[in-house]
Structure 1
Amino acid sequence: MNLPTVRRAFVTVGERQVHYRQAGEGPPVLLLHQSPASSAELEPLMRHLAPRWCVIAPDTPGYGHSDPLGPAQAQLGIDAYADALAALLDALGLPRAALFGSHTGAIIATRFAARHPGRVSALVANGILLNSAEERAELCANYFPPFVPDWAGGHLAWLWSRLRDQLVYYPWYQRQAARRIEWAMTLADIDHAARDLLDAGDHYRSAYRAVLDYDIAPDLPRLAMPTCLMVAQTDALVMYVPQYPAASERLSIELLPDFDALPAAVERFLLRQPALAAAVIRPDVPRRYGPGSKMLHVQGAQLHLRQHAAEAGRPLLLLHDLGSSSAALLPLLAGMGGSRPLLAPDLPGHGLSDATSAHTPEAIAELLHALLGQAGMRDADVLAEGASAAVALALAARLPGLQVTLCNPRALAAAELPQLAQHLPPPLDACSAGSHLLRAWTYLKDRDLYSPWGERSAATALPGMQPPPAEALQRGLIDLLRARAIYPRLLAAALRQATWEAIAASGARVLAVPGHAAHTRLAGVQALPVERAGRAGLLGDLRR
């Protein structure tokens, strides 16, 4: 059986970009995820509902890939999230929709329904908590400590322990026998939750604070639309069911045996709502894209692209380092914006782009060639960072007029290829103890300081190279974990092809920061500022 396709997109809401998933056709149903997750967790429910409805699942502001509403330390209330949801419906051209929310999403959905009742045709709230002012204060004081990158990697040990503890205790920080629960999650689920929390960073606290500080009890009896409060018997929040308001003509309560019963229960409830069947969706509403992100469909894959338009100039394709993403290029994109048209895609299997069968520099170059054609930019130049030099050179072989610029190319001499394995990353598969996070963190620390990265000695040190700050390591860790399925073999292929000898023979322009190996391996290397933001003026002048 063919599963419904879930497509991803961005829409501009005010000054923010909101990332969302969409599947199916018909009356609109909006799904809100729990914290600190993203809309990815709702894909199974989306596919279950998509045959009958147009299902849309946004990333809550500050989570997944949606911009936050404000600084991480801002004291945002629940109404800020409810009103942001109203603004999203406006941007999507949806005057009204059915609403489903899970845990944090259920509470945001409930407040939205109470605050904007005319915009909700029906509401399903899965797993809500009702507690006293004292309990809310206690949760707000302990539930969401700051999550700040630590050079030593200590925050990663906390993250993994925090995610494991929430499966055994509720709340997660009250590690007592009386607080024991049993919430089943696979290692893959915990690993995915870790990546979600890394994505949110310190912003993960915002929605938690807004939700835990909101007294939901007065709003529940006043809801004007058909509402169902659902909760699984295996959910820690089932303890609050005795405090739910009494069922009424508009309000129903459904206890489910487990989480697997949720999709069918949501479907049954929605099928009973005549107002939803009469709802209208406007699929022709133009999406207001800013100069940031969009998703393109190229050769059957969804590729993420950051694009900056300009009135004149030869387009420039910017390629991030292998194992990284276009997010690392944001300072450069901001500094070069307006100088010429800029395109910065996430390579396949990196960032927000789908993994594809393109596992070699040549195959990725073919995909990028198609992307340029779809973007109407068949005539362009390319700037590549790190090991993506191999992709740039493969693309130049397809487009002979291409001007290639390589920034801090990562390469080996042909004579060093027998030791190639020493230059590849350590195993990054998820480990039940979370050690894969620290392995990745250590790799990123040492990769640009030593060659090979795992041999820390005076003989292998790269003199003059600056250690990355903790914030940059955090960004790199997020990208590396996303790309880990493709990164080792793609890096191996790139290092085999784009050797120092091949780069020298290509005629590509090479720029590198002081202390980079390129200065000793190649002639005519141009100095590059250490900070990406300081490179914009120099690189913006790259013209044919």
Structure 2
Amino acid sequence: MIRITRHYVDVPLGDGSQRRVHYRQAGSGPPLLMIHQSPRNSGEYAPLMERWAEHFTCIAPDTPGFGQSDPLPGSPEIDDFADALVATMDALGLPPCPAYGFHSGGIILVTALKRHPQRFTGLAIGGYAIWTPQEMALFGEKYLPPFEPAGYGEHLVWLWSRMLEQSWFFPWFDTRDAARLPGAHADVARIDLAVREMLDAGAAYRAGYGAVLRAPRDIPPADALTPPVLISAYDGDPLQTHIDRLGAMPAGWRAERCATPADHQALSLDFLQGLARPPAIVPTQSAAAGFLPVRTDRFDGLIHWQGDPGSGVLIVHAPGEELKRGTTGTLAIDLPGHGLSDGWPGEAPIDWADWQQVIDKVAAHFGLTDIRLPHVAPGDAELLFPDLRPDRYGTHLIRAWQIVRARHFFAPHHAVGAASAIGFDPEAIRPECLAGEHRALLRATAARAYYQAIIGQ
């Protein structure tokens, strides 16, 4: 069975600081770089990585500002994202290698190839957009509205509708019958995943997505000497018609239409396998953050950690929360079913011994002897941690926001009244702060079981 692992790499910046990049990895053999579309993250390639891992060491970073990767400073444009990608390749220790990108991931890759042709052996691209000036103007006006958290969660109503209807109309805001898409759906899991990806990116989505939309679409001239490139697009892809807009391309470049996504992926894999095969490598990882494989009687997965492995101190978060990034002098983890760690297989346990086994495994790996558990007050687990599974209308997002806001005012959060009122810090209820707590609670699929386990220990 192919297992996808997760890692961080720290990319040096010119001022002496570092930019942290999160990436997924699977397989063995020559490296293949995989760049996701915006505003998504490398997780979209998980099924493809599991298949292509038979042929390559698949390495899929989150692009700057998306997923768990730090954003670029200032107001970056497409050249900055292309250069940042090459800097990430350098930090990972990648030799010149093949790469795959879909839609905006392809725009970043083609720009990087034009600026740094020596870093690639070839590219397979899924749909390459060549917008007309009129289309560019339309996107510039409406496609990327500001996205900031609002005090009462109003932004969540807009976000759910926006991600739902992007499969109904293209562009998503053009609600005319002529703009309808053939693949319209109301798949709750798909919508919820897209919403969570946008919540992770936050306001940074405008920088990354905007840079792609504003990027020049100039294909290298026909007499240019570049690594080979395949551009393909399947029926139903809005960018399939853009193949006719590509014009003359360099030798070694070609564009093809195909029928299905599976056909596109097969074409891409065949092309990539025909390129020069670089040597296998072990990509570099950060020494201050990562994902530790942990196996116990009940758990077999990755545990997210950040901090100082030599500190001797392990910090364990409260139910429904996650580790705090930037902690110094300690090491913090996300427990199973929380934060970025893997979930429990099946139903999460309410026996504390199962949770303690995971904690002990992490502590033993890093040699940590001072384990600090959270203080948890007894209460009704079902009221403290109600069911937040996604529903068709996105109401789980609003319920979670109401919980994280109310728990700053009352303890427990569901007992609203003078007797349960608590003091609060006005800074802590700023929308930006609540947004982080909200993401943590949505990710905490095992919060209730963890609460029951730690109370009952």
**TM-score by structure 1 length?**
0.77
| Aligned equivalents of 1:235, 1:23: Cα separation in 2 | 27
After the TM superposition, which residues 321-340 of structure 1 pair with which residues of structure 2 at under 5 Å, given as runs? 321-326=318-323, 329-330=324-325, 333=327, 337=328
| Matched residue, 1:366 | 357
CA contact (8 A) 2:384 2:414 kept: no
| Matched residue, 1:261 | 263
How big is each residue's C-alpha offset from its partner over 1:292-345, in whole Å with a ceiling of 9 and x where there is no partner? x222122242111112266xxx7221112211111xx236x2xxx3xxx41101
How big is each residue's C-alpha offset from its partner over 1:245-288, in whole Å with a ceiling of 9 and x where there is no partner? 24664122222222233332221222333x2x3x12332x6x35
- Offset at residue 88 of structure 1 (A): 1.0
Unaligned residue ranges in structure 1 (runs of 5+): 390-408, 498-544
Q: Sequence identity of aligned pairs in percent? A: 34
CA contact (8 A) 2:229 2:252 kept: yes
- Offset at residue 189 of structure 1 (A): 1.1
| Matched residue, 1:86 | 86
SS in 2 for 1:254: strand
- Offset at residue 134 of structure 1 (A): 4.3
| Matched residue, 2:50 | 47
How big is each residue's C-alpha offset from its partner over 1:48-78, in whole Å with a ceiling of 9 and x where there is no partner? 11111111100001100111111xxx32111
| Aligned equivalents of 1:13, 1:191: Cα separation in 2 | 31
CA RMSD of aligned residues (A): 2.1
| Matched residue, 1:529 | none
CA contact (8 A) 1:96 1:119 kept: yes
SS in 1 for 2:175: coil
Whether 1:320 and 2:317 are equivalent positions in the alignment is yes
Q: Which has the higher contact order (CA 8 A, sep 6+)?
A: 2
| Matched residue, 1:282 | 281
| Matched residue, 1:295 | 291
Gap change, CA 1:458 and 1:16, over 3 Å in 2: same
| Matched residue, 2:377 | 411
| Aligned equivalents of 1:205, 1:494: Cα separation in 2 | 41
CA contact (8 A) 1:318 1:343 kept: yes
CA contact (8 A) 2:219 2:249 kept: no
Unaligned residue ranges in structure 2 (runs of 5+): 13-17
| Matched residue, 1:5 | 3
After the TM superposition, which residues 79-118 of structure 1 pair with which residues of structure 2 at under 5 Å, given as runs? 79-118=79-118
CA contact (8 A) 1:147 1:201 kept: yes
After the TM superposition, which residues 96-495 of structure 1 pair with which residues of structure 2 at under 5 Å, given as runs? 96-184=96-184, 186-219=187-220, 221=222, 222=224, 224-246=226-248, 249-273=251-275, 275=276, 277=277, 279-283=278-282, 287=284, 289=286, 291=288, 293-299=289-295, 300-308=300-308, 315-326=312-323, 329-330=324-325, 333=327, 337=328, 341-357=329-345, 359-360=349-350, 361-377=352-368, 380-384=369-373, 389=374, 409-412=375-378, 420-421=380-381, 423-459=383-419, 461-466=420-425, 468-484=429-445, 486-495=446-455
Matching residue within 49, 55, 59 for 2:62: 59
| Aligned equivalents of 2:415, 2:88: Cα separation in 1 | 50
Gap change, CA 1:43 and 1:463, over 3 Å in 2: closer
SS in 1 for 2:418: coil
| Matched residue, 1:399 | none
CA contact (8 A) 1:48 1:263 kept: no
| Aligned equivalents of 1:191, 1:168: Cα separation in 2 | 16
**TM-score by structure 2 length?**
0.91
How big is each residue's C-alpha offset from its partner over 1:457-476, in whole Å with a ceiling of 9 and x where there is no partner? 334x3232446321121101
CA contact (8 A) 2:221 2:248 kept: no
| Matched residue, 2:15 | none
- Offset at residue 370 of structure 1 (A): 1.2
Q: Which has the larger radius of gyration?
A: 1
CA contact (8 A) 1:317 1:381 kept: yes
SS in 1 for 2:325: helix
| Matched residue, 2:35 | 32
